[in-house]
Amino acid sequence: MVRVTVWNEFRHERESDVVAEVYPDGIHAVVADAVAEAGHDIRTATLDEGPDHGLTESVLDDTDVLLWWGHAAHDEVRDEVVERVHDRVLDGTGFIALHSAHYSKIFKRLMGTSCSLKWREAAERERLWVVEPGHPIADGLGEYVELPETEMYGERFDVPAPDTLVFSSWFEGGEIFRSGCCYRRGSGNVFYFRPGHETYPIYHDEAVQQVLRNAVEWAAPGDGPDPAFGNADPIEEIDTDDDRTVH
Amino acid sequence: MVRVTVWNEFRHERESDVVAEVYPDGIHAVVADAVAEAGHDIRTATLDEGPDHGLTESVLDDTDVLLWWGHAAHDEVRDEVVERVHDRVLDGTGFIALHSAHYSKIFKRLMGTSCSLKWREAAERERLWVVEPGHPIADGLGEYVELPETEMYGERFDVPAPDTLVFSSWFEGGEIFRSGCCYRRGSGNVFYFRPGHETYPIYHDEAVQQVLRNAVEWAAPGDGPDPAFGNADPIEEIDTDDDRTVH
Amino acid sequence: MVRVTVWNEFRHERESDVVAEVYPDGIHAVVADAVAEAGHDIRTATLDEGPDHGLTESVLDDTDVLLWWGHAAHDEVRDEVVERVHDRVLDGTGFIALHSAHYSKIFKRLMGTSCSLKWREAAERERLWVVEPGHPIADGLGEYVELPETEMYGERFDVPAPDTLVFSSWFEGGEIFRSGCCYRRGSGNVFYFRPGHETYPIYHDEAVQQVLRNAVEWAAPGDGPDPAFGNADPIEEIDTDDDRTVH
Amino acid sequence: MVRVTVWNEFRHERESDVVAEVYPDGIHAVVADAVAEAGHDIRTATLDEGPDHGLTESVLDDTDVLLWWGHAAHDEVRDEVVERVHDRVLDGTGFIALHSAHYSKIFKRLMGTSCSLKWREAAERERLWVVEPGHPIADGLGEYVELPETEMYGERFDVPAPDTLVFSSWFEGGEIFRSGCCYRRGSGNVFYFRPGHETYPIYHDEAVQQVLRNAVEWAAPGDGPDPAFGNADPIEEIDTDDDRTVH
């Protein structure tokens, strides 16, 4: 059982009738239900839940994997919370960035690049091809996942080359996109998953839900060593006298 | 011919007799001379050269590859200059981080991780093994580069797994280290090269100088496409009417 | 529960008193016991078990992960069996190459390179540093695994750069080695793990046994799509008339 | 100046009027002319040029980069020649596999996988998107290369994940493909480039020719160390007495 926190900006759903119709209880509710089917321990948090946006140290203490959806209010996420989440990921907390979270402060912080891309809202068809069928995030899927109506994201996607590319998307309008990207940052597993625009019922799709569950299991932290950093005594016997140090 | 700027913190050399003896004109002078041997166009810049630390937009306009040495005053580099250099790297400027620049603001910004490591100043022996003999940064080298006296850096080095690992180091005291790491960030080539402590004559070493020249040529920008980001018209004919947009 | 087959050449143990003292029932017996501790379903197979070397189609049907130890008789493994195992790995069977199996036909077949390296038998000290503490193969370990007496393997190790480098070794005699290397070939997970020379009690070491168990879990196949290859009908409606075909 | 050998099966052009019309002097002639524009030293070789298929030791001695086009007669390439070329690549000769050479003996030998894929001959539109604009193989290109009529190759492409993915293709019929893949095998640089079906004038396309020239420069060998393999004396002083050896 993985302890999962689903974080959502939760603004569109309260401000737009179109979005509210697709996600009446918020995108986080649908994502949480999808992940909960695998028997994990789920909680949610949203931007407007106080100064910590629901992500207090205590909540993060109880979080193995954090999913993140944001779009219009990235700038309202306080830098202190971004650094807090960043520290947790380096320490091993899994992080899953969903769709427009490519532009969230925390994802850009983890990538070190602009995370820019091309986009278009035309309710067009997307086909996510599995390019690594042996990867656990592809468990239970067919050769591709087809979504009838999506917002297009197109290359160039300005991210570091992923450690593993699991999905690559075809779009009706002529673009392609690296749409399922695995990274390790510190001891934390990071997964970017492209689909998820708020005006389309993407997170209601069964295959998309399967990917979310797979990604949570893949991103969950293990029990590896906790590295020691800083000044270190030698392990082998050596002469450590050196009066030239300026550290 | 590559237009190279060698940036140096240039404090130790002015404050410590031990360091001044090794680098009387500054580390940047020795690095610049080493790179200039390949016929490149070299300039230098240092922390205390005004509010831009010598890295004005104009200097960066004339820079294809930027080498960076810093150690004790990382925090004094203004964030605005860090962002300026970061933008340039994403746009294609090559960036070579030397030794203690692992902890510079700009390198941490590009990596997205803590860039922490183990260290020890004991004038111990280091042997940098070439693990990718076919990589251009290994041109002209033997199977390893041996340095008689170095500061030790040991794993865990908290960086993303490099796109290519060129060198891995053996230390007398029992540690190993990924000491030559290639990354691409945006369109820019980034190389981290470990040796270079200020109290040892590392940059006077002929093999180290060869690596610097190789790295400059490898990191120099090409003539690839300049990606367009943002809203994009479809290339194929599709129906673009969709009144659900909330962008 | 993973269905594991431990394959061993099983010659040294029957021909050398020195080796028989360390592994009286064969290396495979000790490796099998170590992996069985995790509750997996274990069987063993050896070179001299008939023309299939114990690796019939039926045995492979019941194998999720295959561990391989060989050294002096690589050439006696029949090519037909090598191809059979190769097909299985591409189809998803996990494969773990142990120590001198770097030179086995099947590992070289999977890598596509010579898999050559430097070696020395001097009972010297090895320290395997964990360079990716967040990787599941490092679960339950400290920052390094120290082995008091090992055969040295040194770089250049002529393999493709691993998808993930988990361990890198320090040797007393001055070399380093990429000693824990993850690959994906087809749908199969492949792990190379360096320690294991027959004259030293390497597989009796508790940390080494932990790595074996971790590697088995990591290498176990998932439930991803089974790709279709060959001629394919279009998914989108296009004109497929083209009389120029020469296929 | 790079010494380039363009190898071609050269059967379709002599047996099919359709192909002969596109490539009257053979595919190799057009590829050779395209590469020669960069001032390189070019020769060609074909399957039916004697038992070595034109690839004698002497020709390979004078070859820095070898381009390979084959389709219908992969099996007629003698294994001895395949091993000869394989040895050369590991020693540093660059290798560029074109289109249907994905199924050549030498490419499969280098990859260690089946290299299978989906295909369709329907003269459909392909758009190769540059996903790494900073890579030298993308020099001089726009954001994508569009080819009006191509044979489709679709994922899953059963190759190891490339060290660098430069191009990813969109196809009219709904598929995507990793169409520009960089690998290093031994000291040799290997590039797979997808377009090139014999019935379409692909190698007459200016952007495709630019990629060929770029790939030749990228794949050209450097001057790195020539690794020594086998038994090695220690570099550090250690006790090398160990009477347990069974090597």
Indicate the CATH number for domain D3-113+179-219: 3.40.50.880
Would the CB atoms of C178 and B168 count as touching at under 8 Å? yes
Separation CA C53–CA C56 (nearest Å): 8
* Cβ proximity of A204 and A23 under 8 Å: no
pLDDT in tens, D192-231: 999 999 999 999 999 999 999 999 999 999 999 999 999 9
A65 touches chain C (CB under 8 A): no
A239 touches chain B (CB under 8 A): yes
Q: Report chain C residues whose CB lies below 8 A from the CB of A225.
A: 130, 133, 138, 141-143
Q: In which residue are the tokens 């009690």 written?
A: C201
- Of all residues in chain C, the one with the smallest CA distance to A164 is C163
- Of all residues in chain B, the one with the smallest CA distance to A13 is B246
pLDDT in tens, B144-185: 999 999 999 999 999 999 999 999 999 999 999 999 999 999
Tokens of B214: 């190789």
Can you spell out the DSSP letters for chain A?
A: --EEEEEE---HHHH-HHHHHH-TT-HHHHHHHHHHTTT-EEEEEETTSTTTTT--HHHHHT-SEEEEE-SS-GGGS-HHHHHHHHHHHHTT-EEEEEGGGGGSHHHHHHH-S----EEEEEEEEEEEEES-TTSGGGTT--SEEEEEEEEEEES---SPPPSEEEEEEEETTS-EEEEEEEEEETTEEEEEE----TTTTGGG-HHHHHHHHHHHHHHS---------EE---SS------TT---
Mean pLDDT of the region D55-66: 98
Separation CA D28–CA D42 (nearest Å): 11
Exposure on the CB side of residue A185, measured as CA atoms within 13 A: 31
- Say whether pLDDT at A247 is over 70: no
Would the CB atoms of C129 and B176 count as touching at under 8 Å? yes
Closest CA to B235 of A177, C241, D170: D170
Separation CA C199–CA B214 (nearest Å): 43
Cα of A38 to nearest chain C Cα, Å: 15
C175 touches chain B (CB under 8 A): yes
Among B175, B200, B229, select the one facing A117 at the smallest CB separation. B229
Q: Band of the pLDDT at B241, cuts 50, 70, 90?
A: confident
Q: How far apart are the two ends of chain C, measured CA to CA in Å? A: 46
- Of all residues in chain D, the one with the smallest CA distance to A175 is D170
Cα of A5 to nearest chain D Cα, Å: 32
| Strands C118-130, C164-171: pairing kind | antiparallel
Q: What is the ipTM of this complex?
A: 0.97
Name C182's bridge partners: C164, C191
- Of all residues in chain D, the one with the smallest CA distance to C157 is D229
C143 touches chain A (CB under 8 A): yes
Separation CA B113–CA B123 (nearest Å): 28
- Say whether pLDDT at A246 is over 80: no
Residue contacts between A and C (CB atoms, under 8 Å): 83
The angle at the Cα of C132, spanning C1 to C30, to the nearest 5 degrees, equals: 45
Neighbours of C38 (CB within 10 A): 17
Residue contacts between C and D (CB atoms, under 8 Å): 170
Q: Report chain C residues whose CB lies below 8 A from the CB of B165.
A: 161, 165
pLDDT in tens, D17-48: 999 999 999 999 999 999 999 999 999 999 99
User: In this structure, is the dihedral angle defined by the CA atoms of residues A56, A62, A64 and A69, taken in order, positive or negative?
Assistant: negative
Q: How far is CA D246 from CA A83, C18, C20, D216, in A?
A: 55, 9, 12, 46
Mean pLDDT of the region A86-93: 98
pLDDT in tens, A118-175: 999 999 999 999 999 999 999 999 999 999 999 999 999 999 999 999 999 999 999 9
Neighbours of B61 (CB within 10 A): 10
| Strands D41-46, D3-8: pairing kind | parallel
* Cβ proximity of A109 and A74 under 8 Å: no
Q: Looking at the whole model, is its pTM more than 0.90?
A: yes
The angle at the Cα of A63, spanning A59 to A68, to the nearest 5 degrees, equals: 90
Mean pLDDT of the region A20-44: 98
Tokens of B236: 């194929």
Contacts 24+ apart (CB under 8 A), B106-112: B106/B68, B106/B77, B106/B82, B107/B68, B107/B192, B109/A112, B109/B82, B110/A112, B110/B86, B110/B183, B110/B185, B110/B190, B111/A112, B111/B159, B111/B160, B111/B183, B112/A109, B112/A110, B112/A111, B112/A112, B112/A185, B112/B160
Separation CA B22–CA B194 (nearest Å): 18
Would the CB atoms of D189 and B222 count as touching at under 8 Å? no
* Cβ proximity of D44 and D7 under 8 Å: yes
pLDDT in tens, B63-119: 999 999 999 999 999 999 999 999 999 999 999 999 999 999 999 999 999 999 999
pLDDT by residue for chain C (247 residues), tens only, comes to: 999 999 999 999 999 999 999 999 999 999 999 999 999 999 999 999 999 999 999 999 999 999 999 999 999 999 999 999 999 999 999 999 999 999 999 999 999 999 999 999 999 999 999 999 999 999 999 999 999 999 999 999 999 999 999 999 999 999 999 999 999 999 999 999 999 999 999 999 999 999 999 999 999 999 999 999 999 999 999 988 887 877 6
> Which one of C95, C128, C135 makes the best mutation probe of the A interface by having the most chain A beta carbons within 10 Å?
C135
Q: Which DSSP category does D162 fall into?
A: P
Among B140, B227, B235, select the one facing D223 at the smallest CB separation. B140
CA A26 remoteness from chain centre: 17
Q: List chains adjacent to chain A, taking adjacency as at least 3 C-beta pairs closer than 8 Å.
A: B, C, D
Separation CA C220–CA B107 (nearest Å): 37
Would the CB atoms of C239 and D122 count as touching at under 8 Å? yes
C204 touches chain A (CB under 8 A): no
SS3 B19: helix
> Which one of B128, B146, B170, B187 makes the best mutation probe of the D interface by having the most chain D beta carbons within 10 Å?
B187
Q: How far is CA A26 from CA A8, A65, A203, in A?
A: 8, 19, 11
SS3 C150: strand
Residue D245 has a pLDDT of: 75
Q: Report chain D residues whose CB lies below 8 A from the CB of A168.
A: 155, 168, 176, 178
* For chain D, domain boundaries: 3-113+179-219
Residue C230 burial (C-beta neighbours within 10 Å; 0-12, 13-18, 19+): exposed
What is the tally of helices (H) and strands (E) in chain D?
A: 7, 10
- Say whether pLDDT at D121 is over 80: yes
* Cβ proximity of C118 and D229 under 8 Å: yes
D24 touches chain A (CB under 8 A): no
Residue A245 has a pLDDT of: 74
- Of all residues in chain A, the one with the smallest CA distance to D125 is A174
- Say whether pLDDT at B52 is over 80: yes
SS3 D139: coil
Closest CA to B120 of A114, A112, A234, D199: A234
Q: Enumerate residues 6+ apart whose C-beta is below 8 A from D51.
A: D78
Mean pLDDT of the region D102-121: 98
Residue A72 has a pLDDT of: 97
Residues 82-141 of B with CB under 8 A from D: 92, 127, 130, 132-136, 138-141
> H or E stretch including B108?
helix B105-111
Q: How far is CA A120 from CA A69, A107, B234, C174, in A?
A: 19, 21, 8, 56
Q: Report chain B residues whose CB lies below 8 A from the CB of D236.
A: 172
